[in-house]
């Protein structure tokens, strides 16, 4: 008996020593307007509710063996990054009528403490373990800098300009392309030129994003300068190989300096410390935006997936990298149940190349379709006399119910004929209202399975 006591006491000591020490850093990012703010808000609402005993995240609760006891917000362990404001975000959902939460700062963090029950192998209760879940939200644009780490300025320029001279990009970038095409081969290393090129290039990127819904836009900080703002460090741009003078050297030096700076200020202090990562993508939005926007989103996703899941390479570069990465198509409630598997399959198809590599290298990648906040129910609509699977929800602006046919979701990047069939646009739905004390969390689709895959093994 006394031996058992000693063993138990030691376990208890170890358990006490563990309290407050265990951290899971879960990074959440998404290509612009992917639904990051809503995802984080719903995740927090549902975890808090799960901590009060509600079965809002069944797959996570089950994967954690039903041992989640309490969940509450705790101060984040960093003072330098803005806080994600849960009260404001949850408040918007609790308003009458409920509103979507305002977009977050582009870099913010929030920590939740999760108390997990522990038992001895004989079923005796041990002190609870406290696991701190750090949620770190950063702009997806920065993720697109990762592929640049594998290229020099010349290779990056060639690839970027080839893309920029195609399709709607060429029109959006007309002024920039005219500028670089007029540069003499021996263009000098003058800051006036460098800044002019940078400004025209950045404006082209902005037009591509804002007017055409394109996503494969590098470098990330040109679109999203972050807390450090704009600096001469950013005064570079892609150049054709016909330009070889001082300006080309200047751009190449700044390109390298920019990547060093991103490493020193983002990749090393933050990215390399993430344990888990989820990348959100509005794949449905890209499908509805047309062939070019879709292809571009797919290319951006594939490029990021190739790097992020090539953990060996990232680990060698940064010393560490997230060990699990999930890619999730958001707003899955915009399509009826049977289309959601297609949506997940589509994301998987886009990232599949990376997946093969990931399996070889140890990082694990998984693909999902989720609705952080479910606003619709399945319904049937009539299209040219035919019954088609649709969704029904309350329109945000009008406040009235509507049945919407969202079109078909292909299981892989669609054939050209798909785009001829005409595109559907999705309205903004009104979110359901969060009850006053948030006791029942928010309705969602697949958030629990995604979380279970991402963190349950650490609980």
Q: Which residues lie near ligand GDP (CB under 6 A)?
A: 30, 33-38, 100, 103-104, 330-331, 333-334, 371-373, 375, 428-429
Give least dist CB 95 to ligand GDP, A: 14
The smaller minimum CB distance to ligand GDP, of residues 76 and 373, is found at 373
The smaller minimum CB distance to ligand GDP, of residues 177 and 371, is found at 371
Give least dist CB 174 to ligand GDP, A: 28
Two structure tokens written together for 231: 């600096």
Rounded to whole angstroms, the Cα distance separating 113 from 182 reads 58
- DSSP codes, 441-457: ----BSHHHHHHHHHGG
The smaller minimum CB distance to ligand GDP, of residues 200 and 347, is found at 347
By the 10 Å C-beta count (0-12 exposed, 13-18 middle, 19+ buried), 41 is classed as buried
Give least dist CB 143 to ligand GDP, A: 13
Give least dist CB 42 to ligand GDP, A: 7
- For 421-450, b where at least 16 C-beta lie within 10 A, e where not — what string? eeeeebeebbbeebeeebeebbbbbbbbbb
Give least dist CB 81 to ligand GDP, A: 16
The smaller minimum CB distance to ligand GDP, of residues 135 and 373, is found at 373
Compute the radius of gyration of the chain from its Cα atoms. 24
Give least dist CB 105 to ligand GDP, A: 10
Give least dist CB 21 to ligand GDP, A: 31
Rounded to whole angstroms, the Cα distance separating 128 from 67 reads 9
Give least dist CB 100 to ligand GDP, A: 4
The smaller minimum CB distance to ligand GDP, of residues 100 and 237, is found at 100
**Cβ–Cβ under 8 Å, residues 403 and 7:** no
Rounded to whole angstroms, the Cα distance separating 308 from 26 reads 14
**Cβ–Cβ under 8 Å, residues 112 and 49:** no
The smaller minimum CB distance to ligand GDP, of residues 343 and 373, is found at 373
Residue with tokens 């007017």: 211
Name the H helices within 291-415: 291-308, 311-318, 337-361
The smaller minimum CB distance to ligand GDP, of residues 115 and 137, is found at 137
**Cβ–Cβ under 8 Å, residues 59 and 449:** yes
The smaller minimum CB distance to ligand GDP, of residues 35 and 238, is found at 35
362 C-beta neighbours (distance < 10 Å), count? 12
Rounded to whole angstroms, the Cα distance separating 368 from 284 reads 13
Query: Which residues lie closer than 8 Å to 399 by C-beta, 6 or more apart?
Result: 97, 430
Length in residues, the chain: 459
């Amino acid at each position: 008996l006394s031996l058992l006591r000693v063993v138990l006491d030691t376990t208890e000591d170890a358990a006490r020593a563990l309290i407050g020490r265990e951290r899971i850093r879960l990074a959440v990012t998404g290509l612009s307007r992917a639904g990051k703010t809503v995802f984080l808000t719903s995740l927090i609402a549902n975890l808090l509710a799960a901590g009060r005993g509600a079965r809002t995240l069944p797959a996570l609760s089950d994967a954690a063996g039903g041992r989640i006891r309490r969940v509450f917000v705790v101060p984040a362990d960093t003072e330098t990054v803005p806080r994600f404001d849960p009260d404001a975000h949850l408040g918007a959902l609790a308003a009458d009528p409920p509103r979507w939460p305002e977009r977050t700062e582009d870099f913010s963090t929030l920590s939740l403490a999760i108390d997990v029950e522990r038992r001895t192998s004989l079923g005796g209760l041990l002190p609870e373990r406290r696991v701190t879940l750090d949620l770190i939200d950063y702009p997806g644009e920065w993720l697109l800098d990762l592929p640049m780490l594998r290229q020099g300025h010349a290779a990056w320029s060639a690839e970027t300009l080839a893309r920029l001279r195609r399709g709607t990009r060429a029109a959006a970038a007309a002024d920039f392309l005219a500028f670089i095409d007029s540069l003499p081969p021996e263009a000098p290393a003058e800051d006036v030129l460098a800044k002019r090129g940078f400004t025209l290039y950045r404006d082209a990127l902005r037009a591509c994003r804002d007017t055409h819904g394109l996503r494969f836009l590098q470098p990330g900080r040109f679109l999203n300068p972050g807390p450090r703002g704009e600096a001469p460090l950013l005064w570079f741009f892609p150049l054709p190989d016909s330009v070889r003078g001082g300006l080309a050297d200047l751009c190449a030096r700044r390109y390298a300096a920019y990547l060093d700076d991103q490493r020193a200020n983002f990749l090393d202090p933050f990215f390399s410390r993430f344990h888990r990562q989820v990348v959100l993508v509005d794949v449905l939005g890209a499908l509805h935006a047309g062939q070019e926007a879709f292809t571009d989103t797919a290319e951006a996703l594939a490029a990021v997936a190739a790097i992020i899941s090539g953990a060996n390479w990232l680990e060698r570069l940064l010393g560490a990298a997230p060990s699990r990465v999930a890619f999730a198509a958001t707003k899955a409630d915009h399509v009826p149940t049977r289309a959601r598997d297609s949506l997940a399959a589509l994301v998987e198809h886009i990232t599949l190349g990376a997946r093969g590599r990931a399996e070889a290298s140890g990082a694990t990648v998984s693909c999902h379709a989720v609705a952080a906040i479910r606003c619709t129910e399945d319904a049937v609509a009539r299209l040219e006399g035919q019954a088609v699977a649709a969704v029904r929800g309350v329109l945000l602006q009008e406040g009235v119910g509507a049945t919407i046919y969202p079109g078909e979701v292909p299981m892989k990047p669609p054939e050209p004929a798909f785009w001829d069939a005409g595109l559907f646009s999705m309205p903004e739905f009104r979110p359901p209202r969060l009850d006053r004390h948030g006791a029942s969390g928010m309705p969602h689709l697949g958030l629990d399975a995604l979380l279970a895959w991402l963190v349950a093994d650490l609980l």
